[in-house]
Amino acid sequence: MSAVVNVALPVFAIILAGFLAGRSRLLGDLASEALNKFVYYFALPPVVFLGMARRPLDEILNWPFITAFLGPMLAIYVMAWALGWILHRESAENLSLQALNASFANTGYMGIPLFLTAFGQEGLPPAILATVIMSAIGVGLAVIVLELCRSAGHGIAKALRDVGSALLRNPLVMAPLVGMAVSMTDLPVPVPAVNLGNLLGAAAGPCALFAIGLFLAGRPLSADLAEIGWITALKLIWQPLLTWIVAFHMLTMEAHWARSAVILAALPTGALTFVIAQQYKTYVERTSAVILVSTVLSVLTLSGLLAVYAPAGP
């Protein structure tokens, strides 16, 4: 119970503070967008870069973890696509966003701050690796489908160029890749760069969590609740359950990495899904509803997992 109080309560309290600030319009209508961009482009990338650059590559690329986290994510993606087709006969564009909402964990904005609070800097590599997987594979799948739909008649080469360009501009993809390159050279990161990264990175946790609250405050709950319900159930129940089966019963994994895979899989739908939906003007209202409902309900599911897996703290 102490882990819930010491770890989960501060995390969700910051989200609540952001939500209340958004509801009261204390920071103005543009605050959410500005804070999100600060976190996305300036605060989180140094955390991810330093987390990769200052560790041996074989410690970071934990293949059992990648299998345990990525395999269930792809399984949920396929299940959501199938359910969306069976239940709603959606278009391919909508199906891709349904599948993304059901499988895309909020590892960057919520996972990294949560792991910093629960496990400290040394326990961060699983959250960083999961963020790379979400950004490269999760976003990549959605963008590929959406670009193929939009580029119908223009050839697959154009779609693949657009996908590659989008991934190269993604700081949460490029920062760990650059960090891995530095790790491979076995060269130390200059002290001024470390200090700069630590200063910016210190803002990542609270700012990312506060940004989630601001984001949720501006999202209306206007969607089919039955549809939102089964998508949320896949995200918060079935994805961590499948991950637990793979991590604890099918693979041999270090305890921290196995526990981390389950916690990260149990995170609510990430805010990046809304960015994609808004950019392509597809599935926007339902995406915002899934983010809102899954984040609120994750207070219960994550608190339960942290009570079992997280240290009690000081």
- Model confidence pLDDT, tens digit, residues 218-230: 766 666 788 999 9
Q: Helices 92-103 and 272-280, interaxial angle, to 10°?
A: 170
**pLDDT score for 139:** 74
Q: For the residues of 159-179, what is the DSSP string, one character each?
A: HHHHHHHHHHT-HHHHHHHHH
- Least Cα distance to 112 among 61, 49, 35, 164 occurs for 49
Fold (topology level) of 2-307:
Na+/H+ antiporter like fold (1.20.1530)
Phi first, then psi: what are they for 105, rounded to 5°?
-80, 145
Which DSSP category does 269 fall into?
B
pTM of this prediction exceeds 0.95: no
Choose among 279, 270, 276, 247: nearest CA to 70: 247
Residue of 169, 105, 175, 177 whose CA lies nearest to 143: 169
Separation in Å, CA 121 to CA 30, 51, 165, 262, 295: 32, 8, 31, 19, 24
pLDDT of residue 159: 64
Residue 109 and residue 208: Cα distance in Å, rounded?
5
The answer for residues whose C-beta is within 8 angstroms of residue 247's C-beta and 6 or more apart is: 64, 65, 68, 253, 257, 258, 261, 262
pLDDT tens per residue, the chain (314 residues)?
Answer: 455 566 667 777 888 898 899 888 888 767 877 887 888 788 888 887 887 788 787 777 889 999 999 999 999 999 999 999 998 888 888 899 999 999 999 888 788 888 887 888 778 889 988 988 887 788 778 777 877 777 655 666 766 776 677 667 778 778 888 888 888 888 888 899 899 988 988 887 788 778 878 877 876 666 678 899 999 999 999 999 999 999 999 999 999 999 999 999 999 998 778 777 876 788 877 887 888 889 889 888 888 888 787 665 44
Q: What is the pLDDT of residues 218-269, one digit of tens each?
A: 766 666 788 999 999 999 999 999 999 999 999 999 999 999 999 999 999 9
What residue spans define the domains of the chain? 2-307
- In terms of Cβ atoms closer than 10 Å to its own Cβ (0-12, 13-18, 19+), residue 84 is buried
